[in-house]
Amino acid sequence: MEAFTAAMDPLFEDAADRKADVERAHARVKNLKAAAPAEIKTQVAALSEFYDAVIDTTGKSMAEDPAAYARLNPTMAKVKTALPPVSEYTTKHCPGLAKSLEQVGVS
């Protein structure tokens, strides 16, 4: 999840070039999706859909882009089922990250 959140960081760096920021953020999400291990590829794809929708709505009102906002609800529903297996996989295969999360009170 942290990697997906980091993929959106460019959106908040420089409002002057939003289009380039959005393209960079989408590219990062695409790279994360491509790098996902086979065991959680489907779940990472669902998280990617959600983050792509969030990226598309960043800095826009619902009136400006209703289609982008309409994508949020269905993708958010997928996150609820995708997140537990991704978290479980991360805890199992990335013990350093799991330990770091425990130290800051996230589990």
Residue 18: the pLDDT is 77
Task: Summarize pLDDT for 20-75 with one digit per residue, the tens.
Answer: 888 888 898 899 899 899 999 999 999 999 989 988 888 788 888 888 889 888 89
Q: How confident is residue 9, by pLDDT bands cut at 50, 70 and 90?
A: low
Q: How far apart are CA 28 and CA 80, in angstroms?
A: 22
Residue 106: the pLDDT is 46
Q: Record the pTM.
A: 0.72
Question: In 3D, which of 41, 39, 2, 10 has the Cα closest to residue 27?
Answer: 10
If residue 16 lies in a helix (H) or strand (E), which one and from where to where?
none
